[in-house]
Amino acid sequence: MLSQLSIRTLRNVNEVTLFPSAGINIIIGENGSGKTSVLEAIYLLALGKSFRTRTLKSAVQFGQPQLQVIARTNGNIPVGLQFSILDGLSIRLNNAPLKRLSELASQLPLQFIPANSHHFFEQGPKYRRQLIDWGLFHVEPSFNFHWQSYKKILKQRNSAIRQHKKRDEIQLWDRHLISHGEAITQLRKKQLDKLIIEFKQIFSSICPTYKDAQYEVKYREGWLKGETLKTALAKAIHRDEQLGYTRSGSHAADWSFRINNFDPVDVFSRGQQKLFSLALCMAQAKITEQVKHEKTILLLDDLSSELDKDHQQNVLQELELLPVQAFITATDLDVRPSKKHTMFHVEQGAVQQQDR
Ligand SMILES: Nc1ncnc2c1ncn2[C@@H]1O[C@H](COP(=O)(O)OP(=O)(O)O)[C@@H](O)[C@H]1O
Ligand SMILES: [Mg+2]
């Protein structure tokens, strides 16, 4: 959670300081006023990267040498990020230089929902794995260990395959790959089971059309159903040698929900797809808080796109009940702002906080 946020020379935002509330913050402004840039600044601070660009150079205000984002987190801990065109990225947490970006991410659990949030259905398995792994990273300390170890071993195995090493040299890695892979599978399944329980409840309140729907989780381990990873690796060694990499394993896992026995992508409208993504993020925030006792920062870009007034209202009402600090942008708010919301107006990169 952030209690104070300063942004300097990031895109068209010249210099602003905001005092966001712990609950719902709504940022209103015309197209091109700088709303998404404010969300980008928060995202940058929590994750050390942008959701818009790979090279942070384009986020630095034209003609300026650097951008800065400085904030205070929950326990009044200062965190600051600077990206300079000449010297690159530097981050300070509690007045000391940061060694690893994951330290920052673990301080500030954050989820971002883009304006056209059909990611879940369009982006493929990697995105969906990352979604579930995000939750595990925050609530299950052993997950990170297993996943990092798994990735390292996989790299070694793949490199042995590419170098046309002898079979027993390739298969040397299998034992460890299997033990971490199995641990990852167990943790992901457990997390998905928890997730669907919270998801059901949240989705039925923001999307009442599906109030009485039946939900089912489908998890694909990343190898053939009914087999163990051990058998899968052993059977596929010839194929792996031909492909030049290890195809089966936890890195190839995927999952989906079925609703009333349908794949949601086949039956949902665009708006419902957006509500679906939102409910997933909200459910993750709820689980994270139960274990970590920390609010998730939820960035929601363009609430009004694809959602009518009633559904926007549903989303805002549900957010009020959840352990999130939300930053929501909109060009125009169709719903009546409540006293519970902190309002900001953006005009040409300048942000005005409205008195409550
Ligand atoms: N590096 C930059 N320097 C200055 N302005 C920029 C830079 N990059 C983008 N912009 C401009 O900043 C403005 C704000 O963009 P954005 O935050 O996406 O607006 P909104 O989300 O309110 O529609 C846009 O007019 C955009 O063209
Ligand atoms: Mg925008």
Residue-wise pLDDT for 308-331, tens only, equals: 999 999 999 999 999 999 999 999
Residue 76: give the domain boundaries. Answer: 1-109+295-356
Residues 331, 277, single domain; the answer is: no
Of the listed ranges 178-182, 251-255, 303-307, the least confidently predicted one is 303-307
Out of 293, 311, 330, pick the residue that ends a domain.
293
- Predicted confidence (pLDDT) per residue in 46-102, tens digit: 999 999 999 999 999 999 999 999 999 878 899 999 999 999 999 999 889 988 888
Nearest C-alpha to atom 7 of ligand 1 is from which residue? Answer: 11
Residues 264, 338, single domain; the answer is: no
The atom number, within ligand 1, closest to the CA of 302 reads: 21
* Count of structural domains, the chain: 2
Sequence-distant (≥ 6) Cβ neighbours of residue 199 within 8 angstroms: 215, 257, 279, 280, 283
Query: For residue 129, which of 255, 221, 217 has the smallest C-alpha distance?
Result: 255
Residues 171, 281, single domain; the answer is: yes
**Closest ligand (CA of 301):** 2
Query: For residue 36, which of 313, 354, 349 has the smallest C-alpha distance?
Result: 349
**Closest ligand (CA of 114):** 2
Q: Given strand 350-353, what is the order of strands in its sheet?
A: 110-113, 296-300, 324-330, 24-29, 341-347, 350-353
Residues 42, 138, single domain; the answer is: no
Q: Give the pLDDT band of residue 356 (cuts 50, 70, 90).
A: low
Which CATH number goes with the domain that contains 87?
3.40.50.300
Residues 176, 274, single domain; the answer is: yes
pLDDT score recorded for residue 346 = 97
Residues 154, 233, single domain; the answer is: yes
**Cα-to-centroid distance, 130 and ligand 1 (Å):** 28
Residues 258, 203, single domain; the answer is: yes
Residues 141, 283, single domain; the answer is: yes
Residues 195, 48, single domain; the answer is: no
In this prediction the pTM is 0.94
Residues 247, 128, single domain; the answer is: yes
Dihedral (CA of 222, 264, 120, 139) sign: negative
Q: Does residue 339 have a pLDDT over 90?
A: no
Which CATH number goes with the domain that contains 122?
1.20.1050.90
Mean residue pLDDT of the chain comes to: 94
Q: Which residues are near ligand 1 (CB < 6 Å)?
A: 11-12, 29, 31-37, 58-62
